[in-house]
Structure 1
Amino acid sequence: MQMPATTLIQSLMVFSGCAACVWIAGARLAYLADALADRFKLAKSLVGLVLLSLATSLPEVATTLTAAMQQSRDLVLNNLFGGIALQTAILAMADFWARGPITNYPRKANHALEATLLVLLLSVALIITNLGETFVVEGVGIGSVAIAVIYCGAIWLLRRYNDSNDWMPVDLPDPDPLAFPAPTGLSDTADVSLILQAVFACVAILFFGVLLVIFAERIADQSGLGAGFVGVTLLAAATSLPELSTSIAAVRIGAYTMAISNIFGSNLIMLVLVFPADILFRAGPILQDTSRTVSLALAFGLVVTAIYLTGLIVRRKPRLGEFGLDSVLVMLTFLGSLVAYYFAR
């Protein structure tokens, strides 16, 4: 996409406008996903894991594939892996709108299993980036193929486990903190209209996501901060806006399990996007010769996911005001990661 030349200030303004559009579309999508789950009798954790996480990951899809075609390795990997800790911190922010720690609400082990499988994928990616790609076929590393295969297996396992009842937590809060159906104003909307609105929201997220990566690269060049630092901070934050707006909207209407699965599902998708990016990146395996920020981003992703995995298992946890201790630790870890990225850039 060829865009006219802009100054740094103009690039920042366009970037902010696109981010605002992505935010609005993402918030609307949460209400639509909740209404569709109720209408078609679907489990909200499954809707969050499959439908909502895929839809809110469209900016990552757009930015990743666009940056890969432009042969920008740093922007691809730092945007993907840097967004994992950021999006997990988004779940921590959602505690502010929840009635108590958000990790107290799940009634099944689905979310703990999601977090465990995410830890597995993050660990595999971290090993590959440190060892380098040993086997390469047509410019595609075997490591990115392995990540794609493990992701498919994880989704298959999560889908099968969705109906399992072999784990039951104790000391549960009220399952329906708000009146249902959720007060979104969509209860009387026709099925076709709900679907069309959801499709329109997805298209808007995808279109403005492409613009985000274009202007993020311009900001990286014009500001002198570099593609690595901008990718792991500014671009990762902008493309995570749908997850932020959808998670906050989901928590406000009481769809806690959908909010949690949305974040973990989005993080899983960001890892598997390494595979198509590797196909489009023609300068060699994309996980070869990565920067320090890539390894740091994966490590911080492991830390925040492990914290929430602990929070999902430990039901009675300390609280700091409205926030659970796990959410506070995730936020502090994320803030610490920003400092680490700056010094490692």
Structure 2
Amino acid sequence: MQIPETTLFQSALIFLLCAAAVWIAGARLAYVADALADRFKLAKSLVGLLLLSLATSLPEVATTLTAAVGQARDLVLNNLFGGIALQTAILAMSDFWARGPITNYPRKANHALEATLLVFLLAVALIITNLGETIVIAGVGLGSVFIAVFYVGAIWLLRKYDDSSDWVPVDLPDPDPLAFPAPTGLTHSSNTAMIWQAIGASLAIWIFGLFLVLSAAQIAEQSGLGNSFIGVTLLAAATALPELTTSIAAVRIGAYTMAISNIFGSNLIMLVLVFPADILFRGGPILQQTSQTVSLALSFGLAVTAIFLIGLIVRRKPKVGAFGLDSILVLLTFLASLAAYYFAR
């Protein structure tokens, strides 16, 4: 699928319009997901991990599969792995709307477990990209198969651990939601109506996400910046818009655990998408002969996730204004990643 030939200005305009549509749909999805969790008495962390993260990852799905079919290895990997540090930085920005550091709010160990499993998968992906795929079956590397299998096991473990109470934090902040108006009429909507709204918002995210990748590819070609830099910055930022808007909306209504699980769950999905991309990419294993930017993106993803893992474990941490020290370090690390990507492009 291709959009008609356009100028750089027109491509940028299409990109911005699609990004705005994704933003609006993502915000609506957050409100509906929160309402559905209350209606069906589901844990907010579970809704964030399984529903919200999957729905907000639809642009990454569209981007990955489209670019993989087009045999654009760099665009696939840089978008996926570059988006991990970006989405974690989005979680850090949520401190601005929360009552103190957002990592102080979880009452269970499942968020720390999410971060730990994500660190492990990132490390595995980094090892594979540096060593190369040693076992290849029908053009698909064993490494991407392992990532997919481990992802399924991780979701099973997280789902099983969700009801565990063997880890009890102390000095918990006030969990009461912030005063923030819900969308007009949502509280009076039926369950069926809200489910259809969630489906509609998800479809909008997927459709406009597809046009985002098409316009970004044209911008990469027309600007001369190349797929590596565009994929790890502009495209990753655009496809992370649902996570940004849903996380901010969730935090503003007090659904802190849903916001955290949304980001960590989305990052896990970013990694497992390597497997379908490897199947569609016919130039050999997709994790083989990768660029330096890919290794950098995985390394920075490891760094920001580890920082937040420490923040989840250390309950008392210094604050700078509304931000916890862990969130500030994540934001600084993300800014450092942008400079590294630019020089490695």
Which category describes the TM-score, using the shorter chain as reference length?
over 0.9
Tell me the amino acid that sits aligned with residue 339 of structure 1: A
1:183 aligned to 2:197?
no
Cα separation, 1, equivalents of 2:11 and 2:168:
51
Q: Name the residue aligned to 1:97.
A: 97
How many angstroms apart in 2 are the aligned matches of 1:164 and 1:329? 30
Report the Cα distance in structure 2 between the residues aligned to 1:329 and 1:321, rounded to whole angstroms.
Answer: 14
Q: Which amino acid aligns with 2:272?
A: V
Matched residue of 1:187: which SS? helix
- 5 Å-filtered alignment, 1:1-345, equals 1-178=1-178, 183-185=182-184, 186-345=186-345
Give the secondary-structure state (helix, strand or coil) at the position aligned to 1:260.
helix
Aligned 8 A contact 2:31 2:182 in 1:
no
Deviations 1:313-344 (CA, angstroms, capped at 9, x unpaired):
00000000000000000000000000000000
Encode CA deviations 1:182-233: one digit per residue, 9 max, x unaligned. Answer: 7344221111110001100000000011101111111111000000000000
**TM-score w.r.t. structure 1 length?**
0.98
Contact (CA 8 Å) 2:53, 2:265: kept in 1 or not? yes
Partner Cα separation in structure 2 for residue 146 and residue 100 of structure 1: 38
Residue identity opposite 1:4 in structure 2: P
RMSD over equivalenced CA pairs, Å? 1.0
For 1:241 and 1:177, locate their aligned partners in 2 and report how far apart those are by CA, in whole Å: 23
Distance 2:211 2:332 in 1: 31
Shift of 1:154: 0.4
Q: CA-to-partner distance for each residue in 1:270-319, whole Å, 9 max, x for gaps?
A: 00000000000001000000000000000000000000000000000000
Whether contact under 8 Å (2:71, 2:282) holds in the other structure is yes
How far off is 1:174 after superposition? 1.1
Please state how far the C-alpha of 1:3 moved relative to its aligned partner: 1.9
1:106-127 CA-partner distances (Å, limit 9, x unpaired): 0000100000000000000000
Runs of 5+ unmatched residues, structure 1? none
> Which residues of structure 2 form unaligned runs of 5+?
none
Task: Give the residue type in structure 2 aligned to 1:170.
Answer: V
Find the residue that maps to 1:219 and give its secondary structure. helix
Counterparts of 1:209 and 1:109 in 2: how far apart (Å)?
33
Question: 1: distance between equivalents of 2:255 and 2:153?
Answer: 26
Equivalents in 1 of 2:24, 2:264: separation in Å?
21
Identity %: 79
- TM-score normalised according to structure 2 size: 0.98
Distance 1:122 1:321 in 2: 31
1:179 CA displacement: 6.4
Given that residues 3 and 215 in structure 2 are in contact (C-alpha distance below 8 angstroms), is that contact kept between their aligned partners in structure 1? Answer: no
Runs of 4 or more, structure 1, over 4 Å off, are none
Number of aligned pairs?
Answer: 344
Change (3 A) 1:2 1:178: closer
CA distance in 1, matches of 2:2, 2:244: 29
Shift of 1:4: 1.1
**SS of corresponding position for 2:188:** coil
User: Secondary structure at 2:128's aligned position in 1?
Assistant: helix
Classify 1:184/1:283 alpha carbon distance in 2 versus 1 (closer, same or farther; 3 Å). same
- Deviations for 1:79-117, whole angstroms, at most 9, x for unmatched residues? 000000000000011100000000000000010000000
Q: For residues 211 and 188 of structure 2, what CA distance do their matches in structure 1 show?
A: 35
Which whole-Å CA distance do the structure 2 matches of 1:64 and 1:24 have between them?
22
